[in-house]
Structure 1
Amino acid sequence: MRTRHSENVEFVLWTGDIIAARYNVNEDERYQAIRNITELLRMTFSSHFVFPVLGHTDPAPSESLTNLWSHWLPMEALQTLRNGGYYTIEQTQSKLRIVALNTNLFTVREEKSIHARRQWEWLDAVLEKATSNKEMVYIVGHAAPGSDSRYNVLSVDANGKYLRLVRRYARIIAGQFFGHLHVDTFRVIYDKEQPVSWALLAPSLTPHRDFGSSSNPGLRLYKFDSDTGKVLDYTQFYLDLAAANRADKASEWVTEYNLTQYYGLRDVSAESLHNLAEKLRFNSPQETTFFAKYLRAHNVKYDAADNCDGACAHQHFCAITCLEHISYRHCVEAAASALAASGKSSPLVASLINIVLTIITIIIVAK
C-alpha cells in the first residue's frame, strides 16, 4: 500500500484485534507485540496518521497503551483513550470528524460499568456537537452492530441502543467502519423500513481458516470526498495464499475487486446497499449466481468447497438487513420454515461466521 498509494493516503484506520486470542503470554509480552505492530505501521506510514481502536482480544485502556499511540493522537483524544479506550478526531481542514469507539464497552460484561455509561454520554455529546457544527462523521470500531454469529460482542441492550443512536444521527453519519468478523461484508440500518445508514466490514490483514468461513488476507483502500466525507468507492486487495505458497518468488498483493464495478452500484449509500442486499435473497437462479459472487468476496477469494445452501444464504441476508437481535432471529426462522416447506433446505447448514483473532487495517484515500 505504501509503494502504490502512499502519496494519496489521507489516514489509516486500524480496527483492532492486535493480539490473537491464543497468544497466551504475560502482559509485558502482549504489550511488546502491540509495540512491534505500532512501530511497523509508524515506519510504513511515517507521514500519516493512524487511528487505532481496541478489539475484544486486546488489553484494556491504560497509560502504557496510550503512550504507544500518543504520536498519532491529539491531547484531548489521549485523555479519553486512556480512561475509556475511545476518542474523537476533528479534521481542521474539513468538516469531517472521526469517532473511534471502544466496542468492548458494549459487551455484557462491561455494559453496566461506569466507563460504558461515560462512553454513551460522550458519544451522544460528540454527535450532537457535530450536528451543531454541521460536520459529517465516520464511526470506527471493532465489532459492528448485529446478531449474526456466536462470536457476537455487543449485548442485546447495547446493540439496540447503538442502532437507535445511529438512526437519530443518520443524516450526519457519512460511514461506519468495522472489522471483527475477518470477512468481507456489510450492514444496512433501517428506520421505519427505510435504509438510512450503512456499515462496511473489512476482512483481516492476516488470514484465517475455519470450517465454513476461511479467507485470504485482505486490505482495503477507500476513496472519499475529503470535503464532505462521502465515501465514493473502495478497492479491495488480497493475497492468494495458495498461489503464494506455490511460488518461489515473493508473494504479491493484487486487486480483488472494486466495489461499485463489482456489484454494479450507482453509488455507496444506504439505498444502494439495501438494493444489493435484496439481490442476495436466493430465490431465483439469477440471485443464486449473484450470491455466489458475494460469497467469493466474503471469503476474499479463498478457494473452498461451496457448502452454503439456501438456508445459509438467507442467513447472510438476515445478518446484513436485520441488525436487531429479535428481528434477525425472526428473519432466520421464517426463512428456515419457508425452505423446509419447499424442500430446498439441507439438514446441515454451514456455519455463517467463524473467527480467528488477527489484526485488521483499513486504509482510506482522499478524492
Structure 2
Amino acid sequence: MLILIPGSPIFTVLHLSDIHVDFAYTPGSQGDCSQPLCCRGGQPAPGHTGAGFWGDLRNCDIPYWTAEIILRYASELEKVDFIYYTGDIPPHNVWNQSREQQLYSLNTINDLLAKTFPNKTFYSAVGNHETAPCNLFPTPNIRSDNISWLYQVLADNWIKLGLPEDTRKSIEHGGFYTTVIRPGLRLISLNMNYCSWENFWLFINSTDPLDQLQWMIQWLQYAEDHGEKVHIIGHHPPKQCLASFSWNFNKIINRYENTIAGQFYAHTHNDEFVINYDEIDQQRPISMAYITPSLTTFSNLNPGYRVYKIDGNYPESSYWVLDHRTVIMNLTATNIYNQTIFLDEYDARDAYEMKNLFPNDWHNLIERLKNNIDGPLMSLVYQYYTKSYGNGNQCDHNCRRGLLCDFITYRSEDPHACDSILD
C-alpha cells in the first residue's frame, strides 16, 4: 500500500506526443478529400469550407506555425522539470513519403523543441510514423532493408535533446534505451514498433525480435536490486500490440509491480488511461498506463498536451503520478478570432473526484462509471477523451460500454477483459 507524506516534494513532467506536423498544410485548401490526409491543396467543393489557418478538425494534421505556438505556450506557462516525448512527428501522408522527407521532419521539429525548451531534458520514444514506409521496422535478420538510417538520426537528435551519450549504442541498435532521470528513478524507453500489428516484418518473428523484453527484464531486475523505481515510456500502448508480445509484457509488469511506478504511452491521439490488473486476481489493479492526447488534430480532435505532478525528490519516493492536467487549444475559436485560445481542460483528481491517482483509485472510478454508465460523469469522460471536441450526447450506451472496456483492457485479444462491463 502506498502512503504519501503530506507536503512531500513533487516534480512536474510535460508529456508531448503525436505532433504530426504537415509542412504542406495550406490554409483555405480542400479539407474534404479522398486521400488519407487533406488540407494540402486543391479548392474546397461548393458548400464546403476551406482549411482553417491554425488547423482543421477534419483529416488534417497541424501546420508548423501551430505546433510552434503550442510548444511556445507550454514552454512559457508550464514550469516543468523534464519532458516525456513519445514520437510521431511526420504527417499522415503515408502514401507519399521518402526517407529524406522523414528525416527533414525529425530534424526540423527536434530543432524546434531544443530551441523552445532550452536546458530541459527530453526523454524520447520512437513512433510508428518516423520510418518510411510508415509502420515498417525491419528486424535485425532482415539484411535487405536496414533501418540504421533512422536510428542513427534519432540517437543524434535525442542526445541533442538531453539524453546522455551512453544511450547511443542501444538507440542505434533498436531505438530503445534506459537511463537514470535522477537518483532513485530510472527510465526505460521502449520501441513498441516491435510489437505492433501494423509492422508486417513481425510476421517473420513476432515474439521478441530484438530481445527487447529480455533486456527490459534485466534492467527491471537491476532496478529492483538497487532500490530504484522505474517509469516506462513508449509510443503504442500494450493493448495495441500483437497478443504474444502483449501477454508477455503483462507478465513482466505483474512481476515488477513494486518497481514500476508509471507507464506513459500515446499513439491513439485520444486522452485515455488503461488499468493494469493482477493476472490472478483480476479485481486487483497493480499499475497505470497513461495515454496522452496528441498535438495534432487528426482527426476531429483539438490539439492538446499533458502535465503530470509526480511524487519524488526525497528518500523512498514512490514516483507515482499524483495528478495530471490536460491543456487544449480550442481550434474552432482560434480560427474564428485568429487568436490562439488555450484552455486548462481538466485536472484528473478534481474532475473525477478522486482522492489520489493510484491504480485502486482508477479502479474505483471505473466502478462508479459502470454503476451509472449513462450518467453525467461518463459524459464528462467522453468529452475529455475527445479533447472537448465531442460531448456525451454523441456517445450512446454501447459507445460508453466500449470506452469503459478500453480502459480496463491492457492485454490485446483478451477474451475476458471486459466481462465485468458486458455483464
Q: TM-score range by the shorter chain?
A: 0.7 to 0.9
- How far off is 1:226 after superposition? 2.8
Counterpart pick for 1:106 among 195, 199, 213: 195
Residues 171-209 of structure 1, C-alpha deviation per residue, up to 9 Å, x if partnerless? 111111010000011000111221011111111011122
**2-structure distance, mates of 1:140, 1:165:** 15
**2-structure distance, mates of 1:130, 1:256:** 36
SS in 2 for 1:267: coil
SS in 2 for 1:127: helix
In the other structure, the counterpart of 1:219 is 305
In the other structure, the counterpart of 2:76 is 3
In the other structure, the counterpart of 1:12 is 83
Q: Does the aligned pair in 1 maintain the 2:177–2:189 contact within 8 Å?
A: yes
Q: Within 5 Å, which residues of 2 pair with 1:166-245?
A: 166-191=253-278, 192-193=281-282, 194-209=284-299, 214-227=300-313, 228=317, 229-245=319-335
- Structure 2 residue 338 is matched with structure 1 residue 252: no
Q: Does the aligned pair in 1 maintain the 2:378–2:392 contact within 8 Å?
A: no
Residues 62-114 of structure 1, C-alpha deviation per residue, up to 9 Å, x if partnerless? 222322222222122111111100011213x4301111000001135455279
SS in 2 for 1:327: coil
Aligned-partner residue type, residue 52 of structure 1:
S
Aligned-partner residue type, residue 218 of structure 1:
G
- How far off is 1:269 after superposition? 0.7
Q: Does the aligned pair in 2 maintain the 1:234–1:258 contact within 8 Å?
A: yes
- How far off is 1:142 after superposition? 0.4
Q: Does the aligned pair in 1 maintain the 2:270–2:385 contact within 8 Å?
A: yes
In the other structure, the counterpart of 2:405 is 318
Q: Does the aligned pair in 1 maintain the 2:207–2:245 contact within 8 Å?
A: no
**1-structure distance, mates of 2:407, 2:417:** 14
Q: Within 5 Å, which residues of 2 pair with 1:120-131?
A: 120-131=213-224
**2-structure distance, mates of 1:330, 1:51:** 31
**2-structure distance, mates of 1:173, 1:320:** 19
Counterpart pick for 2:92 among 21, 25, 28: 21
Q: Does the aligned pair in 2 maintain the 1:318–1:328 contact within 8 Å?
A: no
Superposed CA RMSD: 2.2
Aligned-partner residue type, residue 138 of structure 1:
H
Q: Does the aligned pair in 1 maintain the 2:305–2:326 contact within 8 Å?
A: yes
Q: Which one is further off, 29-38 or 64-73?
A: 64-73
Q: Aligned pair in 2 of structure 1 residues 255, 140: CA closer, same or farther (>3 Å)?
A: same
**1-structure distance, mates of 2:170, 2:220:** 16
TM-score, normalised with respect to structure 2: 0.71
Q: Within 5 Å, which residues of 2 pair with 1:1-367?
A: 1-5=74-78, 8-23=79-94, 24-59=96-131, 60=147, 61-71=150-160, 72-91=162-181, 93-108=182-197, 109-111=200-202, 112=205, 116-146=209-239, 152=240, 154-191=241-278, 192-193=281-282, 194-209=284-299, 214-227=300-313, 228=317, 229-248=319-338, 250-281=339-370, 283-284=371-372, 288-303=375-390, 306-328=393-415, 331=418, 335=422
Aligned-partner residue type, residue 124 of structure 1:
I
**2-structure distance, mates of 1:261, 1:275:** 15
TM-score, normalised with respect to structure 1: 0.82
- How far off is 1:330 after superposition? 6.6
Residues 99-154 of structure 1, C-alpha deviation per residue, up to 9 Å, x if partnerless? 100000113545527973421121010100000111111100001122xxxxx3x1
Q: Aligned pair in 2 of structure 1 residues 216, 293: CA closer, same or farther (>3 Å)?
A: same
Task: Say which structure is richer in helix.
Answer: 1
- How far off is 1:46 after superposition? 0.9
Q: Does the aligned pair in 1 maintain the 2:195–2:206 contact within 8 Å?
A: no
**2-structure distance, mates of 1:142, 1:323:** 15
SS in 1 for 2:168: helix
**1-structure distance, mates of 2:201, 2:211:** 12
Segments of structure 2 that go 5 or more residues without pairing to the other structure are: 1-73, 132-146
Q: Does the aligned pair in 1 maintain the 2:196–2:236 contact within 8 Å?
A: no
Aligned-partner residue type, residue 129 of structure 1:
Y
Q: Does the aligned pair in 2 maintain the 1:280–1:314 contact within 8 Å?
A: no
**1-structure distance, mates of 2:372, 2:125:** 41
Residues 324-347 of structure 1, C-alpha deviation per residue, up to 9 Å, x if partnerless? 334356737983xx6xxxxxxxxx
Aligned-partner residue type, residue 104 of structure 2:
Q
Identity %: 27
**Which of structures 1 and 2 has the larger relative contact order (alpha carbons within 8 angstroms, sep 6+)?**
1
Q: How many residues get paired?
A: 320
Residues 244-290 of structure 1, C-alpha deviation per residue, up to 9 Å, x if partnerless? 11113x20222111111110111111100111122232x537x5211
**1-structure distance, mates of 2:362, 2:186:** 23
